[in-house]
């Protein structure tokens, strides 16, 4: 049983365990693999650049090492200088060293680089036999010059060890580097195969833009089946703030809240950059209690610190030639200076003076590290603030050959001037309504029309207490059916010039359908924007935004468009008039908050107290009668009038018949939900199977109906297909929707006492 209380000491970690923060969940997930109950489940750790994946793995190693008696941790990082054989050899050596070290509880062994023969002698008696056999297998493969056998012998070591009772957790880092290794076999694919076949948990980590491709190799069948993917992104603001606080506190670096927040924003939540900076502060004895101190330290890091070394190392790896690298810096800097950071591939070819294949290789390296994105015809330099600062500084020093003092001074001044803007943007982003998220939740829901018409809302609810507004909204019968949104993105993603008018998160574009049939005619694009206005937005401002969004729609080729403007305090009467003329929606922040609350997951259940019945009946044998009797009982509880109850029953019977007749259902079942809301009963009938639109088949127009005519009775010919017509007449609202693998009919009956 692992001793979980053992104190973790630093073995492989670059920072002390107590300084490692912000990745608790990931650390827990990796270390949990050591538990016997976890089985051989492996993890694919897809990391963003500078997200701190290597340190996470090293910390996991140290933590697992401290758990005496458990599985032995193995950490191995691929190296860009290795050949396939060298990497395999190194792995075997690392594996045996770390395994023996753990089993001997002697971490000092790791740093001593013992030979394989040394390790054989140091191995525990119970391990001796299999270690010797493993070494012999490896040596035989090496002597035979059989690279595949050698690679398999080395990466098969964890499985061999496990078979003899030596269980390990194998963490392989920088696996994406396997792509560029010289050798006869695809190392990435071999690693994936070893991980898939072993009864030992593996963690395969690497850069997210490359890792999966490297592991799959050229195999037609994916080798990663069954592996759980863990995405390692930059930290969110809250986590990053906590990281800065914790490591500063543990390192004894003074920190104030303002500087902490700026560090988080400027480094965009990168644990790597944050840790590098705080460590630099520790080493230089700098307090992080003012923007000035922080930016001075930051500029030092850019000019020659860990951040500088890291970027330089990456560029050297991509372009070893000094002259070409200088050229690359120039082109990257120029590209970054263009609108959107884009430039055509032809320009890169001309400026770099390289063959297309070489350019492709360079772009592959930049793309993998997310320093640029390669889009066949153009290249986009990544917008990360630190990367752009590094480019600017490096360009001025290495290409423009400007005096270092001037570059330092300018950069410091610029970063200080930029700091308030960075924070202001952060505050605006935090305060934004997150329109994209809201649009995503539309999903054909019906909402009171007043929530999207400021004039109505203002007329009905201005000055009314919140509880009364909620009650009023619940009672509204004029409802708008929202579309189902299938994709949202910021408006700037479609049309970058919009950034000149508003922040990225304040304007969203949502593609969707306003009817359940995914057809051209139902396609619709919503463009929603949050406009800045301290008072009610006037007509002129509203007009500017309506025109602007119409231009976006035109430029992007959107055909059916709904515009939605959100102004904090709503709109003036003249502005409302214009919104109505242009058939655009307009809402205040308060309306959007009500809308958000109504569209939140679980909002409906909350408003009804979760009053819902669910029933599943087999098709045929008059089972619709059972459904009808059930709904009768429910409707009675709600005090529906007898006439209305009969109407609901008949509608439900028709819906069941429709489901049974039209669906070619594979499971021959009808799924029903009866939801009781304050003033209505919502009945949903769904079934799996072929989608036949009963609207098109009304009154016997469809072939399906004709076939049923014959079955129904001779006299019934041409008189079938009244079901939906009946339902529409008997119920207050009816929606027929195509859903994945089937259909859903939603019928609502309002309570009229």
- Minimum CB distance to another protein, residue 694 (Å): 11
Residues 625-655, buried b or exposed e (16+ Cβ, 10 A)?
Answer: eebbebbbebbeebebeeebbebbbbbbbbb
559 Cβ neighbours under 8 A, 6+ residues apart: 523, 525
168-176, 373-381, 476-484, 644-652 -> range binding another protein (CB under 8 A): 644-652
Residue 716 touching another protein (CB under 8 A):
yes
Report the residue from 654, 681, 688, 749 that binds another protein according to the rule CB under 8 A.
654
Residue 479 pairs with which residues in a beta bridge? 448
Residue 647 touching another protein (CB under 8 A):
yes
CA distance to 41, 148, 370, per residue, from 374 (Å):
34, 33, 10
Q: Identify the DSSP state of 269.
A: T
Residue 649 touching another protein (CB under 8 A):
yes
186-194, 391-399, 541-549, 721-729 -> range binding another protein (CB under 8 A): 721-729
Residue 719 touching another protein (CB under 8 A):
yes
Residue 586 touching another protein (CB under 8 A):
no
Residue 712 touching another protein (CB under 8 A):
yes
Closer by beta carbon to another protein, 474 or else 698: 698
Residue 720 touching another protein (CB under 8 A):
yes
Strands 669-677 and 342-344: unpaired
Cβ–Cβ < 8 Å for 747, 682: yes
Closer by beta carbon to another protein, 471 or else 712: 712
Closer by beta carbon to another protein, 478 or else 711: 711
Residue 451 touching another protein (CB under 8 A):
no
Closer by beta carbon to another protein, 351 or else 728: 728
Closer by beta carbon to another protein, 483 or else 723: 723
Cβ–Cβ < 8 Å for 195, 42: yes
Residue 417: Cβ within 10 Å count: 10
Report the residue from 149, 657, 690, 734 that binds another protein according to the rule CB under 8 A.
657
Residue 46 pairs with which residues in a beta bridge? 206, 231
- Minimum CB distance to another protein, residue 726 (Å): 6
Report the residue from 368, 419, 579, 653 that binds another protein according to the rule CB under 8 A.
653
Q: Which of residues 608-637 bind another protein (CB under 8 A)?
A: 622, 624-625, 628
Closer by beta carbon to another protein, 493 or else 633: 633
Closer by beta carbon to another protein, 310 or else 720: 720
3-state secondary structure of 692: coil
Q: Which of residues 109-138 bind another protein (CB under 8 A)?
A: none
Total binding residues toward another protein, as defined by CB under 8 A: 25
Quote the crossing angle between the two packed helices 322-337 and 306-318, to the nearest 10°: 110
221 Cβ neighbours under 8 A, 6+ residues apart: none
- Minimum CB distance to another protein, residue 674 (Å): 18
Residue 715 touching another protein (CB under 8 A):
yes
Strands 733-739 and 378-381: unpaired
Report the residue from 197, 722, 732, 751 that binds another protein according to the rule CB under 8 A.
722
What is the distance between the alpha carbons of residues 95 and 76, in angstroms, rounded to a whole number? 8
What is the distance between the alpha carbons of residues 88 and 111, in angstroms, rounded to a whole number? 19
Taking alpha carbons only, the member of 522, 524, 514 closest to residue 443 is 514
204 phi, psi to nearest 5 deg: -105, 110
Q: Identify the DSSP state of 502.
A: S
Closer by beta carbon to another protein, 55 or else 661: 661
What is the contact surface with another protein in residues (CB under 8 A)?
622, 624-625, 628, 643, 646-647, 649-650, 653-654, 657, 711-717, 719-720, 722-723, 726, 729
């Amino acid at each position: 049983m692992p001793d979980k209380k053992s104190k973790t000491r630093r073995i492989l970690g670059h920072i002390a365990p107590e300084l490692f923060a912000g990745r608790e969940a990931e650390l827990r997930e990796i270390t949990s693999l050591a538990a016997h109950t976890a089985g051989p489940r492996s993890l694919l750790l897809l990391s963003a650049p500078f997200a701190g994946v290597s340190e996470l793995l090293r910390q996991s190693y140290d933590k697992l090492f401290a758990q005496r008696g458990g599985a032995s941790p193995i950490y191995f990082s691929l190296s860009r200088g290795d050949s396939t054989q060298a990497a395999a050899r190194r792995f075997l050596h690392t594996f045996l060293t770390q395994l023996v070290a753990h089993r001997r509880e002697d971490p000092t062994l790791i740093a001593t680089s013992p030979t394989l023969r040394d390790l054989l002698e140091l191995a525990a008696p119970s391990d001796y036999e299999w270690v010797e056999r493993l070494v012999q297998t490896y040596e035989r493969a090496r002597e035979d010059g059989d690279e595949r056998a050698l690679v398999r012998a080395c990466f098969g070591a964890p499985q061999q060890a496990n078979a003899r009772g030596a269980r390990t957790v194998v963490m392989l880092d920088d696996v994406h580097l396997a792509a560029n290794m010289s050798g006869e076999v695809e190392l990435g694919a071999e690693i994936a195969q070893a991980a898939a076949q072993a009864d030992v948990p593996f963690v395969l980590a690497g850069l997210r833009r490359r890792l999966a491709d490297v592991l799959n190799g050229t195999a037609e069948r994916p080798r990663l089946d069954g592996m759980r993917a863990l995405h390692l992104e930059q930290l969110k603001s809250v986590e990053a703030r906590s990281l800065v606080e914790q490591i500063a506190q543990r390192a004894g670096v003074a920190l104030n809240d303002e500087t902490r927040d700026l560090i988080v924003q400027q480094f965009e939540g990168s644990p790597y950059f944050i840790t590098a900076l705080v460590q630099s502060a520790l080493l230089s004895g700098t307090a992080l209690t003012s923007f000035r101190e922080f930016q001075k330290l930051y500029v030092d890091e850019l000019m020659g610190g860990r951040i500088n070394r890291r970027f330089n190392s990456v560029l050297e790896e991509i372009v070893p030639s000094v002259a070409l690298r200088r050229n690359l810096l120039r082109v990257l800097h120029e590209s970054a200076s263009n609108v959107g950071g884009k430039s055509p591939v032809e320009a890169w070819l001309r400026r770099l003076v390289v063959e297309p294949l070489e350019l492709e290789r360079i772009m592959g390296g930049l793309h993998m590290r997310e320093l640029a994105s390669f889009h066949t015809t153009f290249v986009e330099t990544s917008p990360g603030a630190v990367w752009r600062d590094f480019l600017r500084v490096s360009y001025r020093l290495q290409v423009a050959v400007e005096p270092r003092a001037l570059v330092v001074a300018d950069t410091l001044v610029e970063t200080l001037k930029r700091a308030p803007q960075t924070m202001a943007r952060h505050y605006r982003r935090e305060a934004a309504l997150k329109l994209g998220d809201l649009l995503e939740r539309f999903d054909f829901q019906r909402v009171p029309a007043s929530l999207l018409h400021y004039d109505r809302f203002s007329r009905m609810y201005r000055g009314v207490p919140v509880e009364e507004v909620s009650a009023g909204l619940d009672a509204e019968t004029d409802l708008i059916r929202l579309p189902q949104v299938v994709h949202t993105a910021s408006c700037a993603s479609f049309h970058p010039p919009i950034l000149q008018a508003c922040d990225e998160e304040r304007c969203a574009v949502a593609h969707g359908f306003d009817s359940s049939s995914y057809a051209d005619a139902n396609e619709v694009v919503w463009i929603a924007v949050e406009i800045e206005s301290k008072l009610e937005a006037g007509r002129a401002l509203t007009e500017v935004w309506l025109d602007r969004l119409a231009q976006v729609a035109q430029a992007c080729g959107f055909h059916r468009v709904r515009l939605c403007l959100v102004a904090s305090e709503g709109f003036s009467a003249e502005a409302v008039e214009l919104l109505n003329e242009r058939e655009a929606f307009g809402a205040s922040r308060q309306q959007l908050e009500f809308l958000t609350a109504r569209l939140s997951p679980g909002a409906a259940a909350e408003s009804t107290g979760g009053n819902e019945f669910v029933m599943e009946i087999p098709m045929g044998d008059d089972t619709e009668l059972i459904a009808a009797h059930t709904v009768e009982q429910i409707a009675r509880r709600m005090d529906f009038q007898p006439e209305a109850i009969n109407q609901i029953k008949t509608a439900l019977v028709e819906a069941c018949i429709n489901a049974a007749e039209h669906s070619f259902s594979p499971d021959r079942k009808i799924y029903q939900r009866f939801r009781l809301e304050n003033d209505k009963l919502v009945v949903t009938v769904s079934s799996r199977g072929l989608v036949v639109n009963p609207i098109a088949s009304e009154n016997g127009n469809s072939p399906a109906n004709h076939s049923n005519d014959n079955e129904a009775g001779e006299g019934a010919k041409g008189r079938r297909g009244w079901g939906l017509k009946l339902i529409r007449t008997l119920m207050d609202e009816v929606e027929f929707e195509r859903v994945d693998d089937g259909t859903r009919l939603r019928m609502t009956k309002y309570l009229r006492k």
